Every structure is written in C-alpha cells, then in structure tokens.
Amino acid sequence: MNEVIDTHLNTIRSLQSPSGLFLASAQEVSTGYNKAWLRDNFYTALAFEAVGDWDTVRRTYRALLEVLKKHETKISWAARNKPYATWQYIHARYNPENFDEFWEEWGNKQNDAVGALLYKFGDLEMRGHGIIESEDDKRILQKLVEYAGAIEYWHDPDSGMWEEWEEVHASSVGAMLAGLESVARLPYVQVPHEYIEKGGATLENLLPRESKDKFCDLSLLSLIWPYRIISRENADAILRNVEYHLEKRHGVIRYKTDRYYNANEDGWSEEAEWTFGFPWLAIIYAERGDMERAREYFRKAESVVTKDGLLPELYFSNSEHYNENVPLAWSESLYIVAKTLVGM
C-alpha cells in the first residue's frame, strides 16, 4: 500500500473505539468531538472501502446496526407517530462504547445521517459485503424506511449536516432519497413509491439551492458524491457555485456568513475554511474523468496537511492556524479516497 495512504489510515485507526465506531476527532479534544456521529462514521468508513479493507468497513457497519437496534423502541415509536419534539428523532451522536445517546438541547434533527446509513446498508449488501445477517437486521432497515415516511422527510425541516437551525435542506432530502432508493433494491425491504416520488419532487424544486436561507452550501457536494442522486445540470451548477463562492486558500467554507469558528468578532465574512472541501472536489472531478482538475484539488488538499501529517477540521479565515479538532476523521478519509483516485 502507498506509504502516505497507510500513514493516514493509521491516523484514522487511532480514532476507532473497541466497539468498531470511530470518534470524530482525538480522544483528548475539549470540543466534544471525542464522540461517535452516525454521519461521521459513514464518511470515515469510505476510506477503508477505497483501499479494500472490508473487515474494517463491516465492523463499523455492524456497530452502527447495533446502535440502531439498541434504540429500536424509540425508532418504532417515531415510525408509528410523527415526532413532535427534537428528542423523539433518531439521535445523531452516541457514546462509542455503550451506544447511549449524548443528549443536550442542540441540532439533533439530522435526517441526512439516517439517509446516509440507509444508502450504505443497501449499497454494501448489493455489492456482496454481507452487512445484514439476521431477521433483526432486516427489521431495523424496514423500520428506518417507515421512520422516513412518518417524519415526511421530503418536507421535514431538520438541522442538516451542520447541525444548525432547522430548514428543509436539499442535502438532507437527497441523502434520504438516495438511502431509500438504495434499500429498495433489497428483496426484504419495502419502500412505498410515494416516498421516492415526494423526495424527488422536493429535491428538484430546491436545487441548486441548499435551502430557503442558503443558495450555496458545501453539503450539496454530497448529492454529487457519494450519493450520485442529481442530474448533471444540477451538479454543474452546484460545482460552479461552490468553487466561485466558497473556495478559499485553506479549504472550502460551508456557506456565506457561517459563524462557526468565524474569525470576525461580529461573526461576519471571515468564515472558517474546511479542509475536506478540497479532497471532496478532487473525488468528484476524478469520477467525472477530469483528472487535471482532480489533481489540482488534491494538490490543494496536500497543501493543508499539517507539519505533523494530519488533516484538521478547519483553518481560521486567511490564516495558517487551525482549530483543535485535529485530526478530523472525515477529512482524513476523504483525503485517502481522493489519493486512491488521482494516483499522486
């Protein structure tokens, strides 16, 4: 294996707990990133898919199934009754050892995380990697489908990928749509066609915007890859917007006026620059066959690796300084996927 890839894989492996779940960042950080997110585990496991380490992929998804089964009573209730409070939704992050929820009043409604798991469960099964082993596993997948219908995901305001204020997000609707289409291919999962139709209609009406408030957002790249759920025309528009409006020196800002780690004391126009934006764009261009652009973005990704060989979550605006969340498992993973594709 390429030495650079192996080094970054070992960095990610250092974040894996005995249960099989990955922490978002190092155990010692004070930011709360020493916990396991559903979404982060989905993106982190993509690195091991890219290098063919199916044992690690399987271990991660078996752990995610156990998380869901531990909270099956909650999921069953939500699938029968449309949730009316945030805490009644499937939670986004868990204790990596005992799979308990980490509860606090915070942006917990994250429908894209549920869609991500549905997408990958279906994808791995169809590719013969044997994640689903029992009738219990099959039952939990069907309940996730019923949950998607109960919350009416196609117009359900959620906190989205960035865990902030609630809106109907294209990235969340698209993740759920991709997930439902994925598990619909499995003979033991039944997906009502209206769930697909309604999600598709909402997505088409929103795109290329992310939401009512955001015309352009880094999270929209997920609809191009890994979900591959949108038309070439919409993908082209999203790429143009992201590259023109969001790309910066050390990464890609999430959206205009993002206040998270904003360097301006007024929280304006000095948005943090997220490192995984560069390898994400490299992956997309590699999949499109545009290797020149893919290598260009991979070189940018290499330029933001720290002197210790790690990918942080983000750099402060127009600065060489990064925040405490280093390494970020998600950034490390997309860097590995990009490197396997561009061959540099």
pLDDT, one tens digit per residue, over 15-29 is 999 999 999 888 888
Average pLDDT over residues 187-205: 98
Amino acid, res. 216: C
Helix (H, G, I), strand (E, B) or coil at 185: coil
Spatial separation of the C-alpha atoms in residues 326 and 314, rounded to whole Å: 9
Question: Token digits for 219?
Answer: 């999270």
Express as a percent the part of the chain with pLDDT over 70: 99
In this model, does residue 329 exceed pLDDT 90?
A: yes
| Cβ neighbourhood burial of 25 (10 Å; 0-12, 13-18, 19+) | buried
Question: Token digits for 247?
Answer: 């790309």
Provide the residue ranges of all domains of the chain, joining segments of one domain with +: 1-18+242-344, 35-233
The more confidently predicted of residues 179 and 86 is: 179
Q: What is the CATH topology of the domain spanning 35-233? A: Glycosyltransferase (1.50.10)
pLDDT, one tens digit per residue, over 244-294 is 999 999 999 999 999 999 999 888 889 999 999 999 999 999 999 999 999
In this model, does residue 1 exceed pLDDT 60?
A: no
| Vertex 271: Cα angle to 269 and 272 (nearest 5) | 160
The more confidently predicted of residues 66 and 105 is: 66
Spatial separation of the C-alpha atoms in residues 22 and 332, rounded to whole Å: 12
Angle between helices 329-342 and 277-287 (to 10 degrees): 30
Q: What Å distances lie between residue 58 and 46, 49, 94, 117, 221, CA to CA? A: 11, 10, 19, 13, 25
The pTM of the whole model exceeds 0.85: yes
